[in-house]
Structure 1
Amino acid sequence: MKKMLLVLTNSIKYGEKNAATGLWLGEATEFVDEVQKQGFAVDYVSPQGGFVPLDPRSMKSIDDASFAIYEQRQFQEEALAKSLKPSEVNADDYCGIYYTGGHGVMWDFPNNSALEKISLQIYQNNGYVMSVCHGIAGLLFIKDENGQYFVKDKKITGFTTTEEYLSGKSSVVPFFNEKIAEKHGAQFVKKRAFKSFAVQDGLIITGQNPFSARSVAQKFLENV
């Protein structure tokens, strides 16, 4: 069976600030809905494994299909309660890896060597490396075997600096994804704030914001 690996955050708050964040639910469930309809199985991993918190704001805007997935006991257990640790993942089992967002990922996705190794192995096996919204933070710091940033010279997108200001979180995030992407040599592209947009560069597919999860999945499905 074709299998996908979804990466979820363990971060429950904005760094040291006592304000709740976590996974933006629709960025996982909308992608899962698309790929499961095409026969893909899905596993879930997080930097530490185990519990995955939900950003409470994300519960206000999920569609019926997403809520149906959220209601599934399997999703609640495998994604939200008992996500895999990176050490429990065999990269050879997957044809793609997808980094979900939510502000929490800004603290625990960057510079996670175990997740980076999994991503590079999937990529080297001709698998797809994907992200949506803040999930791009998981790709921005990966370096290849030559010490070059994975995103260098790649066309990518993610949550923009403008969107960060519009969301009211510009003062609490540890960095701006758009600025780091450009600093690390990527070709960062974007469209109108908070509108669905995804871009593909070879085996890398990225989406701009929470409204782009289905677009990322659809681009992936067009290739497999």
Structure 2
Amino acid sequence: MKKILVVLTNTVKYGEKNAATGLWLGEATEFVAEVQKQGFEIDYVSPQGGFVPLDPRSMKSIDDESFAIYEQPQFQEKALAHSLQPSQVNSSDYLGIYYTGGHGVMWDFPNSPELEKISLQIYQNNGYVTSVCHGIAGLLFMKDSNGEYFVKDKKITGFTTTEEYLSGKSSVVPFYNEKVAEEHGAQFVKARAFKSFAVQDGRIITGQNPFSAKAVAQKFLENV
């Protein structure tokens, strides 16, 4: 059975600021649509398990295929209402793990040692570690068995500092993905702001922004 683990956020607001955030819906549904066409089964996990909020801004621009997935009772149940807790996940079941974005992930993805352990086990089992947009926050603070940052000397991408400023959220995020990536020894590459762009370094595949989810899925599918 071909399975992928999709990681979602539990964060509902920007830190202490009462402004709604959460999963950027298309970053989940566009990836899922692509891999399901190739027979992959999807499981959904979040740092705490259970409820996954949606960033309300992400509902304004999803395509018909994404909306069809959003309407599915199975997606609403497994992804949004009752996502798995990390303790319920057996890493050996998966060919890959995919970190979705939305600003919320910047608060809970870097603080989940359980998810880090799952990711490293999948990678050590010759699986793929992938992310899109802010989802790179789930990889930036991971350390390997030697205590080195997982992204050190790896070519990666994610939501850029320029895109953060253009999104109007530069003053509320806890850190800039691009800056941390470089501080942790990664080779951070990027394309024009808000253009689809994905990069692969071995079994690590990352996408730059919300428009890159399909590109990440396609690179993954080319390898499995």
TM class, shorter-chain normalised?
A: over 0.9
Superposition pairs of residues 103-182 of structure 1, within 5 angstroms: 103-182=103-182
The secondary structure found in structure 2 opposite 1:217 is helix
Residue equivalent to 1:200: 200
In 1, Cα distance between equivalents of 2:16 and 2:73:
32
Distance 1:182 1:212 in 2: 21
Quick one: distance in 1 between partners of 2:141 and 2:152?
10
Aligned-partner SS, 1:110: helix
What amino acid is the match of 1:139?
L
Partners of 1:131 and 1:31 lie apart in 2 by: 10
What residue number does 1:97 align with? 97
AA aligned to 2:187 is Q
Paired letter, 1:127 = G
Structure 1 distance, partners of 2:17, 2:169, is 12
1:112 to partner: Cα distance: 1.0
Q: Give per-residue Cα distances to partners, 1:142-198, cap 9 Å, x unaligned.
A: 000100000000000000000000000000000000000000000000000000000
Aligned residue number for residue 22 of structure 2: 22
Tell me if the contact between 1:197 and 1:207 (Cα under 8 Å) persists in the aligned partners.
yes
Report what 1:74 is aligned to.
74
- Structure 1: 4+ residue segments shifted above 6 A: none
1:182 and 1:189 map into 2 onto residues whose CA distance is: 10
The 1-side partners of 2:99 and 2:142 are apart by 13
Letter in 2 for 1:185: G
Distance 1:14 1:105 in 2: 10
1:111–1:142 Cα contact (<8 Å) kept: no
Mapped to 1, the partners of 2:39 and 2:133 lie a distance apart of: 25
Q: Deviations over 1:11-34 (max 9, x none)?
A: 000000000000000000000000
How much has 1:111 moved relative to structure 2? 3.0
Structure 2: how far apart are the matches of 1:223 and 1:107? 31
**Paired residue secondary structure (2:110):** coil
SS of the residue aligned with 1:109? helix
Q: Normalising to structure 1: TM-score of the pair? A: 1.00
- Alignment root-mean-square deviation, CA: 0.3
Aligned residues: 224
Other structure's SS at 1:6 match: strand
Partner SS for 2:36: helix
Determine if the alignment matches structure 1 residue 13 to structure 2 residue 10.
no
Counterpart-to-counterpart distance in 1, 2:111 and 2:119: 12
Q: 2-side partners of 1:159 and 1:120: how far apart?
A: 22
Partners in 1 of 2:3 and 2:29 — Cα distance? 16
Matched, 1:221 2:205: no
In 1, Cα distance between the equivalents of 2:136 and 2:176?
A: 11
Q: Partners in 2 of 1:89 and 1:189 — Cα distance? A: 32
Work out the percentage of aligned pairs sharing the same amino acid: 87
- Taking the aligned partners of 2:88 and 2:40, their CA distance within structure 1 comes to 20
Provide the rounded CA distance (Å) in 2 between the counterparts of 1:7 and 1:156. 18
Q: TM-score, normalised by structure 2?
A: 1.00
Q: Which residue of 1 aligns with 2:48?
A: 48
